[in-house]
Structure 1
Amino acid sequence: MSRQGATQRDLTENPLRKPVNTLAIVPTRSSKITVLARKAYNVLLYIAQEQGIEQEVFRAPLQSILRGVDFNSNAREIVKQHLRAMVSTTVEWQSPTAGEGEAWNVAGLLAHAKVYKQRGENWVEWSFAPNIKHELLEPQRFARLRLDVISQLRRHSGVVLYEICARYRDVGLTARQPWPWWRPVLTGSPDTEDSVKQEYRFFKRDVLKLAIAEVNAVTDLDVELIEHKAGRFIADIQFRVGKKQQEALPLRHPPAPVDLSQVVRATAAGIRSEDAEALIQTHGNEAMTVGLDALLKRIANEFPEPLRDPYRYLRALLESNSATAAKKAAEGSANPPASSAAAAAALEGWTAEWVSTRRALVMAEFEALSLETQADWVERLRAHLYERGVHPSIRKRLETNGWKHPLVTGELIRFFKGADWDRPTPQELLTIAAQRGGR
């Protein structure tokens, strides 16, 4: 079978062979590697390996790399943005294990990229820098990666952790590294003056726990964090890697293209592509689809006034409208808290934290309205409080101190967002629980 025809083979026979030196790449400048860019790069690398090292340049239909791109003006700019970043972003090529693999200098993810039309179809052309091409396409040390699994991961940290742990699935332990080494590797962003001051506990809460939870939920690996102390403080970390005792799902062929459809929709609604990607990373494609549907309806309906900030509106919507019943899942969890009292206390803590965040988001949404619209809402609230016979002290505070007085704000939020504004969905509670490690 020819290398060109190999793209039709089942991926169980021919997964992506990703060189060890590409697993822990870090941008050398202020640029950031997004999760969609990393996924797209994996598809480009897979296709190039199938087409063969003898090729100088590689070509494939755009739709085989990126899904949901009809190449209108918005989509064209998004494609250009990602390809431009792959060419212009220089990265440090390094293995997670010191001394493993060849010693490379910095190089771009791609040497060049071009989008063109051929017989009415959009195609992508790309190449790799000569000093890394051989190792990329004919690697001696590599991780075997399932691209259908990677397509289900939505966090950059989750994708990277899966790729690194897949390299060590037969070893059982990843390399041990100082914990700050993992920060730019997992986030895809170079360290900054602020990030180097970050405490380990926040990195663990915001990056490590969420990445581990995603890998364990989606992939065929079981990953566990191992911490090593120097005195009283965490100095190094590594991960214990196990294989789940279950049959692997059948893989598709060829690799599924990276889904850009929701990013395209979001940019058409006036949201920056990087903001749209961040929302997808946090909430997932399905939630983004539902949120964008609601956003487009709100844009079409200009009452009480035209929407001024689509991004802020969509972000608040996604925060408050998760679709999954995670509370029931938590109640039926295989690892419930030790007692009903402990469960109730944990639930109360998660709910309080969610309500605090939700309250801030609603207030931000209200303050984003024009002063005239705010005044109209306040006037309607005044009439509403009078009709309900609310205690005179609250109505007096509204008259003398305005809607920002603590006694009034709760009434305003309830009137503005409805009686259920402070009732989190089960999925939202589980998100808080994951961030807090179940405490």
Structure 2
Amino acid sequence: MTDSRLARQMDVVQGMLHKSVIALAIVPTNRSLTVTGRKAYSVMLGLAQLQAARGGEGPAGGFSAPLNSILRGFGANNSISVDAKRYIDQMISTKVEWRPLSKSEQQFHLSAETKAVPELPVEEPAITEEHRVFNLLAEVRIYKRAGENWVTWYYPPSIREELVSPTRWAQIDFDVLKELTTYCSVTLYEICARYRDSPAGLTSRQHWTWWTETLRSSPHSKVRAWRKFKNEFLAAAIKEINAQGDIEIELIEFRRGREVEQVQFSVKRSNQRPPRLMPTPADITNVLHASDLGVRESVIEDLEREFGASAVSDGLNRLERFVKRAAPAGAREDSEPFGKVQNTGAYLRRIVANQKRERVADESRPAGANASESQLVDPREPVRQVRQSRDALADEERHRRYMLVRTAFEQLPTEEQFEWVRKVQADAEANSTVTTGIMRRLTRGEWQSPLVQVMVINFYARSEFGAQWTTLPLDAFRVSDRERIVDIE
């Protein structure tokens, strides 16, 4: 075994994937690529590199592994269901556009040949712009071996060698990768990991639309304004990446006037180093359970990010018990099926959210209360207290976000504040009936007046942070200490 192969094998054994630069900034062009699909692709790359380093690749250049080592949840007793085929189909049918991270990578040569072929020196003009589109996988075979589900996969010939034995790569830590919950955070982590040991510690500087298109999972989703994208997706991704202890990243915005024009990130090694693991299969246990109950994968990803995988698992169990329980005695035969749910995704969210509120209520219950004391009070009182506690908690959370938005509005230049008030005035005239006093204050730009302040702040919040701004994390409303703003002269 050569020194390079041995080093590559040791890196994979220690839980580090050498992910080629051609697989980092990839943009789906024909269909969505889920976070689970992207994680599974990285796991397959890690397994392929380990097999190649050991000389264990197939005779036709393919790589094989048990399905459960790629997607956790498909054991030996599982049939090869449509769910497994769906993830594999994502990788074989998704066309991606590779976007070089730097100008030097525009000259990066890809060839299907594995051996160097001497060529006559030919003067060729340098490549300045190139559009490269390819499938993530060329062929996949799913089958059973000794009663266990297995997968054999092949990479496109023109990029195979660079994927399996890359000459330029980012070191991806599987222990960090398995903890990231969104497509945005996974993609941003992989790109930033490329610059972990860079002397400058800076990613390439790109227009903000380059980042929004690269960090989104669907080519059909609308490109959002930079501020909305940053608040709804990027801020949470940065926080999640920095919490893992592998690298620390900081957002740098370059502005021309008040408008953000270009964006880059500073990257440095974290003081903490997580334990190294073998390639960890993407856990789709909850996704499979949810599929049986009619809940979409995107709903599960959102709930796991917000409440955690364990809470979602408990919620799925409760939903299943409700859906499958028998009808009560005396029910009419022609009545609606007992336990039928019109929107299972929304119902699951309500179950998981209620579980969280119940835990908060239990924690807020006074310590030392005993059974004899509880017998002296109205049996309905605990229910009232829980309801009041939930309402008070929700009101407090809404007020905290309102005050953060109000502070952000106060920091705007006066002329920009007045422009927002004019928008509120136009909206009020078109969509609602308001009193003369309110219109007078809006005309004067007196947004701090108690008559119009709530109207202005709510309008500003919906426009800048989205209709669900009252449910966003608090960090979305603050200028993070992980952000820098640079004026472009």
User: TM-score, normalized by length of structure 1?
Assistant: 0.69
1:149 — aligned with what? Answer: 176
2:344 — aligned with what? Answer: 310
2:476 — aligned with what? Answer: 435
Q: Deviations over 1:340-398 (max 9, x none)?
A: xxxxxxx976334889xxxxxxxxxxxxxxxxxxxxxxxxxxxxxxxxxxxxxxxxxxx
Tell me which moved more, 128-137 or 298-307: 298-307
Tell me which moved more, 314-323 or 127-136: 314-323
Distance 1:48 1:435 in 2: 39
Secondary structure at the aligned position of 1:106 is classed as strand
Secondary structure at the aligned position of 1:52 is classed as helix
Question: How much does 1:22 deviate?
Answer: 1.1
1:112 — aligned with what? Answer: 139
Unaligned regions of 5+ residues in structure 2, if any? 110-129, 329-337, 364-393, 403-469, 481-489
Pair 1:272-2:296 in alignment: yes
1:90 — aligned with what? Answer: 95
Q: 1:122 to 1:133 in 2, by over 3 A?
A: same
Identity across the alignment (%) = 37
Pair 1:250-2:284 in alignment: no
Kept in 1, the 8 Å contact 2:15–2:174? The answer is no
Alignment of 1:285-324 (within 5 A): 285-301=309-325, 305-308=338-341, 309-322=343-356
Distance 1:353 1:73 in 2: 48
Q: 2:253 aligns with which of 208, 227, 234?
A: 227
Q: Deviations over 1:294-320 (max 9, x none)?
A: 212322446794232322200223344
1:395 — aligned with what? Answer: none
Q: 2:162 aligns with which of 114, 135, 145?
A: 135
Question: How much does 1:437 deviate?
Answer: 2.9
Kept in 2, the 8 Å contact 1:93–1:105? The answer is yes
Distance 2:269 2:471 in 1: 25
Question: How much does 1:71 deviate?
Answer: 7.2
Question: How much does 1:51 deviate?
Answer: 1.7
Distance 2:269 2:196 in 1: 7
Question: How much does 1:245 deviate?
Answer: 1.6
Alignment of 1:2-17 (within 5 A): 11=12, 13=14, 15-17=16-18
Distance 1:42 1:169 in 2: 18
Question: How much does 1:78 deviate?
Answer: 0.9
1:26 — aligned with what? Answer: 27
- The one-letter amino acid of 1:113's match is V
Unaligned regions of 5+ residues in structure 1, if any? 329-346, 356-428
Kept in 1, the 8 Å contact 2:248–2:269? The answer is yes
1:64 — aligned with what? Answer: 69
- The one-letter amino acid of 2:26's match is I
Kept in 2, the 8 Å contact 1:69–1:264? The answer is no
Q: 1:302 to 1:224 in 2, by over 3 A?
A: farther
Kept in 2, the 8 Å contact 1:4–1:50? The answer is no
Kept in 1, the 8 Å contact 2:28–2:94? The answer is yes
Distance 1:75 1:143 in 2: 33
- The one-letter amino acid of 1:47's match is L
Q: 1:113 to 1:134 in 2, by over 3 A?
A: same
Question: How much does 1:249 deviate?
Answer: 2.7
1:241 — aligned with what? Answer: 267
Pair 1:205-2:205 in alignment: no
- The one-letter amino acid of 1:66's match is L
Kept in 2, the 8 Å contact 1:11–1:251? The answer is no
Q: 1:104 to 1:121 in 2, by over 3 A?
A: farther
Aligned CA-pair RMSD: 3.4
Kept in 2, the 8 Å contact 1:6–1:50? The answer is no
Q: Deviations over 1:89-140 (max 9, x none)?
A: 1001223223424467211010011110111111001001111111111111
- The one-letter amino acid of 2:67's match is L
Kept in 1, the 8 Å contact 2:44–2:70? The answer is yes
Distance 2:197 2:9 in 1: 28
Alignment of 1:341-360 (within 5 A): 350-352=397-399
Q: 1:119 to 1:301 in 2, by over 3 A?
A: closer
Q: Deviations over 1:199-229 (max 9, x none)?
A: 2110111111011011011241111111001
Q: 1:182 to 1:438 in 2, by over 3 A?
A: closer
Secondary structure at the aligned position of 1:87 is classed as helix
Q: 1:234 to 1:217 in 2, by over 3 A?
A: same
- The one-letter amino acid of 2:291's match is T
Question: How much does 1:243 deviate?
Answer: 1.7
Distance 2:301 2:79 in 1: 14
Question: How much does 1:177 deviate?
Answer: 0.7
Kept in 1, the 8 Å contact 2:24–2:187? The answer is yes
Question: How much does 1:278 deviate?
Answer: 4.2
- The one-letter amino acid of 1:41's match is Y
Kept in 1, the 8 Å contact 2:14–2:276? The answer is no
Q: 1:287 to 1:7 in 2, by over 3 A?
A: farther
- The one-letter amino acid of 1:314's match is L
Pair 1:178-2:207 in alignment: yes
Question: How much does 1:269 deviate?
Answer: 1.6
Kept in 2, the 8 Å contact 1:74–1:267? The answer is no
2:52 — aligned with what? Answer: 52
Kept in 1, the 8 Å contact 2:11–2:17? The answer is no
| Residue correspondences, number | 342
Distance 1:4 1:314 in 2: 48
1:187 — aligned with what? Answer: 216
Kept in 2, the 8 Å contact 1:40–1:257? The answer is yes
